[in-house]
Structure formats: C-alpha cells, structure tokens
C-alpha cells in the first residue's frame, strides 16, 4: 500500500476499505435508499446517499459536504463539485447520479441540514451491514480510503493533495512546468477512466513530452513525469503524428506488469533497459507460477511487477527491501487526452 502519511495521518493498526469494499458499501447505500415506500423516509435516505457519494468520490471532509448548497455546488456539465474556492472533479456517472437525486426534490435536498452524528451512525450501520468493522466506515475513514485509492491508482501525490484540499508541496525543478490546468486535466483523465478501465496495464505515469527524436520509422519520446523523473518511449512515426506529440504535450503512459523487470538495489544491474525506478517493496503476493510485487517509488506511486515465482525466489527479496524496477522504452503505451 502506498504510504498515505504524505496526505492523511492513519493509525498503524487501522486498515481502510479497499476499492472493492468501497464498491460493496456504495451498493449497500444505493439499495438501502431505494427500500422505503414512504416518501419522507425515502427522501431522508437519498440525502444520506448523496452525502456518502460526495465523501466517497471527492475525499472531502464531512463538514465540507454538510455545508454545501448543491444547487450551486454541483456543475453537471463540467462534472465538478465546488467546495468554496476549490473545484473537485468527479466522474460523469457520479455527477449524473447526484443530479438525478437532486431533481427528485431539489428544494428538500439542496441543503444537507442534518446532524453530523446522525450521518456517522448511518455510515456505521451500512458498514456493519456489509460485514466490515464500523470503524472502517466512518466519513473520516472513507476520506482516507479515497486518498489511498487514488494514490494506488498512481494519481500523482500533488494532484491528490490538491483534490483533497491540502496545500500542494513545492514541485521539483523538473515539474515547475506543470500548471494548475495540467493537474486539472490529469484529474479529469483519471476520474473518467477510473470506473471503466479496461486496459490490463497496471502501471501509469502522467507527464509532458520533453523532447522528440524522429527517425525513419520510429520516434523516441522523452517524457518529464509529474514526480520529477524522466521516461522514454518509442512509437511509430505514424503513432506520434496521430497522438499529436510535441514538446509540452500532456499525456499518460502505461506499462503492463509482466513487462517490468525486478532487481535487487544492492546488486549491479544486468539489464540495459532504458527506464528504471528505485523504491521499496510494499506488497508481495506469491503464487505457484507467478509472483506479484508492488514497489513504492518516489512521489508515492506504486509499480506492480509480475515475475516468475522461481525467479522472484532467487532474488531473495521481502517486504521492506529496496528494489529496482526496469522496463523497455518499447513497453510504454502512450495516451493523450
């Protein structure tokens, strides 16, 4: 798990809900809100569902959500929730759900005039109904779970901090060129792809084209990533043209987990692969044939490598050990908005 301490403080013995558990909890809230026949009770439960969706997908504090005037806070067309001067991007399906609920009775639902303690009780009830410890389902823990979920999806730390309303740390010199609008675009890409990701590529980077070297058939693309690193990819000249690649163009890059090579940091590299990142092993899932290994790299992102189990055993690596991840420039898949 990516270290969430950069964004939110979480006790060592507390485990947040993961993405699948959050989805289960959301479905529980949705079903629960549809149960009542009495209009008044149904309306009350719809209000709680709205509050849950806002905490779940914006990572906002409960106090921020309860202070909203939804008639003005929800921008369905641009898919934003506005918290004071802060705009938080949400996915289209979330914006549409909120809009449909509000349309059922805008006057009654535009303000969340409700006791925070009552909201917490309902969060705890739904969490326990799903079979989870109620401590994991409070609004604060849902907010923290969202932060971890975004980081594990490799949304850059400065973007996550901006989304959650934290002051963004000074970016490294290499990242100075990334504007607020760049980070908004990165957030839009992430939110729109989050619920419908079909790609099997597990590792993603966001960055800008630094330079292009065009050959007779292929183009070498140098990319400055948001974590301050450099990444190289090779695409055909036709692909470079179709993607509209040019210096300064914002893009995302993906690498499939089986294409990553894992090495010990304390050994000399035996590979001449162009891209390399160093970090710490944070999770290992061993199987009979393959082993999945997650490496936390600079900037809070995780890279997931899938290697043969005999090969991984030969490395003699365990959780907490430093490791090196390498991949070819031919393994990088580029996307532009």
Higher-pLDDT residue of 24, 85:
24
The DSSP code for 69 is: B
pLDDT of 175 over the 60 cut:
no
Determine the average pLDDT of the residues in 193-200: 52
Q: Residue written as tokens 């099997």?
A: 200
pLDDT top residue among 175 and 147: 147
Asked whether residue 191 carries a pLDDT value surpassing 80, the answer given is: no
Nearest to residue 148, comparing CAs of 320, 296, 7?
A: 7
Per-residue DSSP letters for 138-207?
SHHHHHHHHHHHHHHTT--HHHHHHHHTPPPPPPPGGGTT--HHHHHHHHHHHHHHHTT------EEEEE
Mean pLDDT of the chain, nearest integer: 85
- What is the spatial distance between Cα 96 and Cα 229, in angstroms, rounded to a whole number? 37
- Residue 301, pLDDT score: 77
pLDDT recorded at residue 336: 85
Asked whether 222 and 209 are in contact (CB, 8 A), the reply is yes
Give the residue among 138, 113, 140, 119 at the shortest CA–CA distance from 9.
140
**Each residue's pLDDT tens digit, 293-310:** 999 887 677 889 999 999
- Categorize the per-residue pLDDT at 4 as very low, low, confident or very high, splitting at 50, 70 and 90: very low
* Residues 310/332, Cβ–Cβ less than 8 Å: no
Residues with Cβ within 8 Å of residue 16, at least 6 apart in sequence: 4, 10, 136, 141, 144, 145, 148
pLDDT beyond 80 at 279: yes
Tell whether the model's pLDDT for residue 292 goes beyond 50.
yes
Q: Quote the Cα angle for 297-298-303, to 5°.
A: 25
CA distance 108 to 87: 24
**Residues forming a β-bridge with 173:** none
Question: Which residue segments constitute the domains of the chain, with CATH numbers given?
Answer: 4-152 (1.10.443.10), 257-331 (2.40.50.100)
Whole-number Å distance between alpha carbons of 271 and 277:
13
- In the DSSP assignment, the letter for residue 111 is B
Rounded Cα gap, residues 337 and 33, in angstroms = 36
The strand ranges marked E within 49-98 are 74-75, 80-83, 86-89
Q: Is the pLDDT of residue 8 over 80?
A: no
**pLDDT one-digit tens code per residue, 111-159:** 998 999 999 999 999 999 999 999 999 999 999 999 888 877 767 777 7
- pLDDT score recorded for residue 291: 96
pTM: 0.65
Q: Report the distance separating Cα 133 and Cα 120, nearest Å.
A: 13
Model confidence pLDDT, tens digit, residues 212-269: 999 999 999 999 887 778 999 999 999 999 999 999 888 889 999 999 999 999 888 8
Q: Which of 37-51, 166-180, 227-241 has the lowest mean pLDDT?
A: 166-180
- Residues facing residue 89 across a β-bridge: 80
How far, in Å, CA of 118 to CA of 114, rounded? 7
**How far is residue 50's CA from residue 56's CA, in Å, rounded to a whole number?**
10
């Amino acid at each position: 798990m990516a270290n969430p301490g950069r964004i939110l403080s979480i006790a060592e013995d507390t485990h947040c809900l993961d993405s699948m558990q959050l989805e289960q909890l959301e479905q529980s809230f949705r079903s629960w809100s549809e149960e009542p026949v009495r209009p008044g009770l149904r309306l009350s439960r719809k209000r709680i569902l709205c509050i849950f969706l806002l905490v779940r997908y914006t990572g906002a504090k409960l106090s921020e959500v309860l202070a909203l005037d939804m008639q003005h806070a929800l921008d369905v067309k641009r898919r934003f929730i506005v918290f004071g001067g802060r705009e938080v991007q949400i996915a289209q399906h979330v914006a549409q759900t909120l809009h449909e609920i509000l349309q059922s009775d805008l006057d009654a639902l535009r303000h969340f005039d409700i006791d925070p303690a009552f909201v917490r009780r309902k969060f705890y009830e739904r969490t326990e109904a799903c079979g989870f410890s109620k401590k994991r389902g409070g609004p604060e823990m849902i907010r923290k779970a969202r932060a971890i979920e975004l980081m594990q999806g490799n949304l850059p730390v400065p973007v996550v901090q901006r989304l959650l309303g934290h002051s963004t740390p000074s970016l490294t010199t290499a990242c100075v060129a990334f504007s607020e609008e760049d980070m908004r675009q990165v957030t839009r890409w992430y939110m729109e792809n989050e619920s419908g990701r079909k790609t099997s590529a597990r590792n993603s980077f966001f960055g800008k084209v630094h330079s292009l070297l065009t050959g007779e058939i292929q183009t070498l693309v140098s990319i400055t990533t948001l974590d301050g690193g450099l990444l190289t990819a090779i695409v055909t000249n036709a692909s470079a043209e179709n993607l509209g690649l040019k210096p300064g163009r914002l893009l995302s890059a993906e690498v499939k987990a089986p294409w990553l090579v894992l090495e010990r940091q304390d050994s000399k590299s035996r590979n001449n692969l162009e891209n390399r990142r160093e970090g710490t092993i944070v999770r290992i899932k061993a199987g009979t044939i393959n082993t999945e290994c997650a490496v936390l790299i600079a900037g809070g992102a995780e890279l997931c490598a899938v290697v043969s189990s005999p090969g991984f055993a030969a490395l003699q690596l365990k959780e907490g050990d430093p490791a090196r991840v390498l991949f070819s420039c031919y393994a990088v898949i580029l996307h532009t908005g």
